[in-house]
Amino acid sequence: MKPARLLLLLSGCALLLAPAVRGCGPGRVVGSRRRPPRKLIPLAYKQFSPNVPEKTLGASGRYEGKIARNSERFKELTPNYNPDIIFKDEENTGADRLMTQRCKDRLNSLAISVMNQWPGVKLRVTEGWDEDGHHSEESLHYEGRAVDITTSDRDRNKYGMLARLAVEAGFDWVYYESKAHIHCSVKSEHSAAAKTGGCFPGRALATLENGARTPLWALRPGQRVLAMDGAGRPTYSDFLAFLDKEPRALTSFHVIETREPRRRLALTPTHLLFVAENASAPASLFRPTFASRVRPGHFVLVAVGSGGWQPAEVVGVRGRTDVGAYAPLTSHGTLVVDDVVASCFALVQEQQLAQLAFWPLRLYHSLVGWPGAQGDGVHWYSGLLYRLGRLLLPPDSFHPLGVPQAES
């Protein structure tokens, strides 16, 4: 590892381990003292996590159609030959071993957790991909996105904890469905729901210091864009890098619409937007809020021609899919997109914590200058911070759409 990257890594770790984090910008002061390892709580019988229906955006997403051996989508399934997993395979066809890559990754992670939790016990899969129509209509088993599991010793007293371990392993929906098994499922590989980071559409517009407007995909390091400072005032902030850059990803966005003045902002559900309950709140008291929690009647800050902010009432929230997703990072951790003030951050509803955690990256850029062309995908530093955060912060710190494993 290069010395500069090593220094950056250690700085980020130090910030996440700091006993207290204080900030002066919008949102509350954050105490981030280290906590003892959290106790895992077993799921209760008939409990599911997250607490939403399986085939919704907040869980495993919609059913996309049955996969047959002779269908084009059959190539989406991959066999799992993990020796630490017992496959019942009562059909003797190997069907239970077939699953999507996302499901396979979560299952393999769970197998390790099971062996750590109960030495000598293995994970057992009783149902995987179903090609024979044995499940209910539109079951995710038909797409290789669901498994039914037990422990190898079939000790039903372990099943509540087994369900909790499945949640921790990253399954998108876990259900203590039966006294005889736990049901787990995942999002589609190519589903818009599979993207959990915080982004805007690539064609959304930022405002440059010279007054020109540019699509987010065209931003270049060193350009200065309209943003909000810690006191809630307009400022121009250096664009540093993209925390996530997915030019071809089909992504699901929340569209926030306002009136007086009329504005329309699209952003992913996990992204932070500054929100207040009434129009009289000063800009510095608008709270960072997940886009999925914004409702009609809330107020957001919008840019107006005089060079300041104006509260605008939210009158509508709807969904939309679009191609391309970009998450710009600025020096101030905020930016104005399509004339609406937004955060650069997502997944954790703590603006100051996120801003301070990215201080080493800002320092790095100030010391070594601007990098060359940035590749697609999640920035390595933001991916690292996310994984550290999952270890150090309680699970309710994260948006429900966050997953335990972030790619970088």
pLDDT digits (tens, 9 = 90+) for 294-319: 999 999 999 997 678 999 999 998 88
Of the given ranges (9-23, 154-168, 199-213, 240-254), which has the lowest mean pLDDT? 9-23
- Determine whether 397 is exposed, middle or buried from the number of CB atoms within 10 Å of its CB (0-12, 13-18, 19+): middle
Average pLDDT over residues 154-165: 96
Task: Output the pLDDT for position 150.
Answer: 97
Contact 127, 148 (CB under 8 A): yes
Task: Output the pLDDT for position 69.
Answer: 92
Burial per residue of 164-193, b for 16 or more beta-carbon CB atoms within 10 angstroms, e otherwise: bbbbbbbbbbbbbbeeebbbbbbbbbebbb
Of the given ranges (24-38, 41-55, 179-193, 352-366), which has the lowest mean pLDDT? 24-38
Task: Output the pLDDT for position 184.
Answer: 97
Q: Quote the longest CA-to-CA distance of the chain.
A: 72
Of the given ranges (48-52, 53-57, 109-113), which has the lowest mean pLDDT? 53-57
Average pLDDT over residues 34-60: 82
pLDDT digits (tens, 9 = 90+) for 93-121: 889 999 998 899 899 999 999 999 999 99
Q: Give residue 23's pLDDT band: very low, low, confident or very high (50, 70, 90).
A: very low
- Could you write out the DSSP letters of every residue in 298-333? BEEEEE-TTSSEEEEEEEEEEEEEEEEEEEEEETTS
Query: Is this model's pTM higher than 0.85 or not?
Result: no
Residue 3 reports pLDDT greater than 70? no
Calpha distance 261→311 (Å, rounded):
9
Q: Which residue has the higher pLDDT, 164 or 19?
A: 164
